[in-house]
Amino acid sequence: MKRRRRTPTPDLEQAAGAGLMHRRAFIAGAAIAGAVAAEPARAEGLAVEPWMTAPGSPFTGYGQPSRFEAGVARVFANPPNAPGSGAARTPLHRLQGMVTPNGLHFERSHSGVPDIDPDKHRLLIHGLVARPLVFSLETLSRYPMESQIAFIECGGNSAQLYQTEALDADAQRLHGLVSCAEWTGVRLSTLLDEAGVDPTALWVLAEGGDAAGMSRSVPIAKAMGDALVALYQNGERIRPSNGYPMRLLLPGYEGNMQVKWLRRLKLVETPAMTRDETAKYTLLRPDGSALQFVFAMEVKSVITQPSPELSLKEPGLYEISGLAWSGAGRIVKVEVSADGGRSWAEAHLQQPILSKALTRFRLGWRWDGGPAVLQSRATDEEGNVQPTREALLARRGARALYHFNGIASWGVAASGRVTHVYA
């Protein structure tokens, strides 16, 4: 195929090998945008399109995306003969910003989505407390509320990268079990204080109201810290697939601990050692033994644009963009490589940069039309640096399944096609 002639570009400063530009190009403003402005010859000749000649659609009770965006959807899979068990993944490569639309937030269910009547649903707090309490949704709504923007990531996100061969898949299928939202609800510490926590209580058993009875043990320090009984997601009631009418929010912890359809909190002296925290969701070490109580998701990043399904049309200027996050706090730096890790340039971090929330990073890149390997490497405020895949596998061994946070690689061919590779 004959390539179009490249648009002349300004002399933007190169910060690393293979055409990566300095992040000042983004801090300064429109340097990149001005360099890639398209079709200036048509600026004076816009046509009157058919949709300008008649009234449009009437109002609807609940807005929906444009029909032209029908492809921006979750993909999902169920194990054979296990309806309701499986996961639906967020199309990270089709989104911008840091907040995930409610209808595209990833979903992980162990026995389907229960159809809960909010008027009949109750939250019980009992065990090692002075006063066992039962809350309806209406009584919870009378307590002071607060909002937190926080990511939730499934412990099994990116698990395919533990495999020996790179899977031919896109960012959604490989890394789409992470999303970010503004969660609003009541601080769990407020409710526990009202119940009166016994000093011997060191853990809280959280149980969901689904058919699987999903349950996990939470350290009392986390429960009395930033934990929330969340009732709203991005301003509206939490969607059924994400825990309607209430879920536990534990910012930074692995997703399954943030129990959906929350119905019971029992304060206990020791971890309950439920099936979900012993037979599953444990980190295996190379010798086959399991690490106990690894709750926080490690520092991680992934490039979403360009990525598989978003191939490059021609050589020239592009923006490399992606997401970074850490269960330990804020992201302080993301570096990008276009030559498989031989050289790195620091990306621009888009505001707001919040603790335990997704952070958007951006960097300019002049692709010369040759093969390239794109990678990103994040650092959080605790000094944790995202490891290479090789270093992570050496530490975890061949039987690991959860908490993959190694550096991921996209290969760019001379044709412009982008694929998942190991590099």
Q: Tokens 């090789």 sit at which residue?
A: 390
Does the pLDDT at position 104 exceed 60? yes
Domain ranges of the chain: 105-289, 298-419
Task: Determine if the peptide bond prior to 240 is cis (ω within 30°).
Answer: no
Task: Give every CB contact of residue 408 below 8 A, 6+ residues apart in sequence.
Answer: 158, 161, 174, 175, 302, 303, 375, 376, 389, 420
Positive or negative: CA dihedral 109, 249, 140, 197: positive
CATH for 105-289 is: 3.90.420.10
> For 277-319, what is each residue's pLDDT tens digit?
888 888 888 888 888 889 999 999 999 999 999 989 999 999 9
Distance between CA 299 and CA 240 in Å, rounded?
29
> For 335-392, what is each residue's pLDDT tens digit?
999 999 999 999 999 999 999 999 999 999 999 999 999 999 999 999 999 999 999 9
Average pLDDT rounded to a whole number, residues 58-85: 88
Q: Which CATH architecture has domain 298-419?
A: Sandwich (2.60)
The enclosing H or E element of 139 equals helix 137-140
Q: Which of 323, 311, 324 is nearest to 372 (CA)?
A: 311
Identify the pLDDT of residue 31. 54
> For 208-228, what is each residue's pLDDT tens digit?
999 988 999 999 999 999 999
Give yes or no on whether 105-289 and 298-419 have one common fold: no
